[in-house]
């Protein structure tokens, strides 16, 4: 079984973040690089997984999520 990991560089006015997202058996797993190491998120949607993974960037989450290309979160 192979999985396609979708990698993206997210941008906000204050930072840029490397993130990855993959769908496995109907669930999404996302990871985002942070200064203290990777942050993981999971959920039934790619958006939910990415939101959770970006939690350490609490002041910029909305802006970072807005920069996610729609095709990254499609199954």
Q: What is the pLDDT along the chain (75 residues), one digit of tens a residue?
A: 778 899 999 999 999 999 999 999 889 999 999 999 999 999 999 999 999 999 999 999 999 999 998 888 876
H/E element, 49: helix 46-53
In the structure encoding, which two tokens stand for residue 28, read together?
Answer: 């999404």
Domain count, the chain: 1
Q: Is residue 57 part of a domain?
A: yes
What domain range is 61 assigned to?
Answer: 6-67
pTM as predicted: 0.89
Cβ atoms < 10 Å from Cβ of 28: 22
Q: Is residue 49 part of a domain?
A: yes
């Amino acid at each position: 079984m192979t999985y396609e990991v979708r990698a993206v560089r997210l941008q906000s006015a204050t930072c840029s973040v490397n993130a990855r997202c993959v769908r496995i058996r109907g669930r999404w797993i996302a990871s985002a690089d942070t200064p203290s190491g990777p942050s993981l998120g999971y959920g039934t949607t790619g958006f939910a997984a990415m939101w959770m993974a970006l939690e350490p960037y609490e002041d910029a989450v909305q802006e970072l999520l807005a920069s996610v290309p729609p095709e990254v979160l499609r199954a």
